[in-house]
Amino acid sequence: MSKNKPETILGVLISGGGTNLQAIIDACASGDLPAKVGVVIGSRPDAYGLIRAESHGIPHFWVDRQAFNSNDDYDKEIVRRLKENRVELVVLAGYMRLVGAPILDAYPDAVINLHPSLLPSFPGAHAVRDALEYGARVTGITIHFADAGYDTGAIIIQEVVPVHQDDDERTLLERVHKVEHKHLPYAVKLWATGRLKREGRRVKILPKHTGG
């Protein structure tokens, strides 16, 4: 499900600002992450992540759902763009659409999603606000393999973020983002260096240098 060579080619799917895309770009540039972003695809024309891609000379596209008859057709077009750019690992970095069978089938165990809560707590589009309103003392982030459900796939990494008593959505979101930016490139690195082994719902992180 993963591989071991100098540069894994990533396709990053976004819907918004793309700060996690930026974290990945930076980690690639610094040499920490043996990968490069081959293409960025946005589900919205105004996703700022597209501008980030442009400024780094990375191929980038807005794919307009309105131009397709079905979600499947939309996803097939995304797969076409990914394959065209020789993408090996798909990273959902603030991508607000469910990825369907065309993408999952083309990239088995090779679509990674990032979610701003400790799943299965607080799935959905408002995870940080929901955690605050629930009165949770801790929340966090989950990086997981995407599957056909919303925020249900096998977990690669979870990291805790404390909720402070005086937090509002903005302060908590900021703390969550910092943790995302640190761990998403790490999760991509684990995949790119062949260190992830999924067994059903449990994902094993293999030790370094297993010669895999």
Rounded Cα distance between 91 and 11, Å, is 6
Alpha-carbon distance 93 to 81, whole Å?
17
By CB under 8 A, tell whether 148 contacts a second copy. Answer: no
183 among known catalytic residues: no
Does 191 help bind a second copy (rule: CB under 8 A)?
Answer: no
Which of residues 140, 189, 192, 195 is near a second copy by CB under 8 A? 140
The Cα–Cα gap between 185 and 31 comes to 11
**How near is the Cβ of 79 to a second copy at its closest, in Å?**
27
61 and 41 in contact (C-beta within 8 Å)?
yes
Q: Please, which residue, 85 or 142, has the CB nearer to a second copy? A: 142
Q: Rounded CA gap, 138 and 72, in Å?
A: 37
Q: Which of residues 5-34 bind a second copy (CB under 8 A)?
A: none
Contact letters for a second copy, residues 85-124 (x by CB under 8 A) = ---------------------------------xxxxx--
Region of 31-39, 67-75, 80-88, 151-159 interacting with a second copy (CB under 8 A): 151-159
In single-letter form, the type of residue at position 140 comes to: G
Strands of the chain (E only): list them: 8-14, 35-42, 60-62, 89-92, 111-115, 138-145, 155-162, 196-199, 202-205
Using CA atoms, how far apart are residues 146 and 60, in angstroms rounded to an integer?
Answer: 22
- Nearest residue (CB) to a second copy, 5 versus 201: 201
* Of 80, 78, 42, nearest in space to 58 by CA: 42
Instruction: List the catalytic residue out of 60, 115, 144, 177.
Output: 115
Q: In angstroms, give the least distance from the CB of 129 to a second copy.
A: 13
- Give catalytic residues, as residue numbers: 115
Under the rule (CB under 8 A), what is the footprint of a second copy?
118-122, 133-138, 140, 154-155, 157-160, 165, 200-205
